Structure 1
Amino acid sequence: MAGINKGKIEVIVHDGRSELLTMSLQIEFEQRRRALIVRLQGELDHHTADMVKTRMEEAIAKGDARNLVLSLRDLSFMDSSGLGVILGRYKQITGRGGKMIVCDVNPSIYRLFELSGLFKIVAIEDNERKAISSLEVAL
């Protein structure tokens, strides 16, 4: 799984009218045993969702990861496009017989999960350590 074991991708979106940065998102991938850990930092919204979706799809498809841990500890904002990205990766991972856990969800994003009902579908843990432990028990 060369190139995915550890790496960061930065998605920068410009408003098209100037060179001013309107928002930024960083994605960090780490392979740990049969789990892909993805850490998001910044804003996951309609500007960045397609790139995040593509990068995560590629990382899942290229690697031998059966499970996915998605850490939102450093995610400052998410809209419904982000929910779509998460639900899509959940379907991708479970379609391969794996399990997905979202962790480190801040209160405003958790509220979005509640309103959408996503927390009823996707497992949530308090932190990355608990998410990984939960997966190791499931293996």
Structure 2
Amino acid sequence: MNETEGTLAISAHPSPGGPVVLRLAGELDHHTGARLGRAVEDLLHSPGTGAGIVADLSRLHYCDSTGITTIITAHDRAQATGSSFCVAAPSPPIAQLFRMTGLDQLLPFHSSVEDAVAALSSN
């Protein structure tokens, strides 16, 4: 899956025997949030996503309240299906936003994609 619409690019990259890395680049906002929600739902209903989803935010440079809600919903949906969802490598502005809103206390955060993949692979 590779999609570009508006200013958000989403691509899925399975890791061998582990979670799917969902790379986000651009802006996650009220125009693009639904696309992320659909991508997560599609992955949760696909074979081979049992180890979970790692959202790589290293190239995400903007996120509004809709984007935050979409990330929370993705985490909740993953848990409801018996899977996992975590956030990895947020860019400095996104990391600051998540600290200010307390999202970093609500969801599993990892400083790198590699750390996140290792954490979900060991579960």
Q: What residue in structure 2 maps to residue 73 of structure 1?
A: 58
Contact 1:29-1:37 within 8 A present in 2 as well: yes
What amino acid sits opposite 2:111 in the alignment?
Answer: D
> How big is the shift at 1:99?
2.2
- Identify which of 2, 6, 11 aligns with 1:8: 2
In the alignment, the residues of structure 1 paired with residue 113 and residue 38 of structure 2 have an alpha-carbon distance, to the nearest angstrom, of: 23
Summarize the alignment of residues 96-135 of structure 1 with structure 2, pairs less than 5 Å apart: 96-135=81-120
In the alignment, the residues of structure 2 paired with residue 34 and residue 9 of structure 1 have an alpha-carbon distance, to the nearest angstrom, of: 22
Bigger fraction of residues in strand: 1
In the alignment, the residues of structure 2 paired with residue 72 and residue 64 of structure 1 have an alpha-carbon distance, to the nearest angstrom, of: 22
Q: Which consecutive residues of structure 1, in runs of 5 or more, have no partner in the other structure?
A: 1-6, 13-23
In the alignment, the residues of structure 2 paired with residue 60 and residue 31 of structure 1 have an alpha-carbon distance, to the nearest angstrom, of: 13
In the alignment, the residues of structure 2 paired with residue 98 and residue 55 of structure 1 have an alpha-carbon distance, to the nearest angstrom, of: 15
CA RMSD of aligned residues (A): 1.4
In the alignment, the residues of structure 2 paired with residue 53 and residue 100 of structure 1 have an alpha-carbon distance, to the nearest angstrom, of: 12
Q: Which consecutive residues of structure 2, in runs of 5 or more, have no partner in the other structure?
A: none
Q: What residue in structure 1 maps to residue 19 of structure 2?
A: 35
In the alignment, the residues of structure 2 paired with residue 135 and residue 59 of structure 1 have an alpha-carbon distance, to the nearest angstrom, of: 15
TM-score by length of 1: 0.80
In the alignment, the residues of structure 1 paired with residue 90 and residue 77 of structure 2 have an alpha-carbon distance, to the nearest angstrom, of: 21
| Off by >4 Å, runs of 4+ in structure 1 | none
What amino acid sits opposite 1:63 in the alignment?
Answer: P
Which digits, 9 at most, give the CA deviation of each residue in 1:76-111, with x for residues without a partner?
A: 111111111111110111112222221111221112
> How big is the shift at 1:34?
4.3
Which digits, 9 at most, give the CA deviation of each residue in 1:14-37, with x for residues without a partner?
A: xxxxxxxxxx11100122224121
Aligned residues: 121
- Identify which of 29, 44, 54 aligns with 2:38: 54
Instruction: Report which of the two structures shows the higher radius of gyration computed on alpha carbons.
Output: 1
In the alignment, the residues of structure 2 paired with residue 79 and residue 132 of structure 1 have an alpha-carbon distance, to the nearest angstrom, of: 26
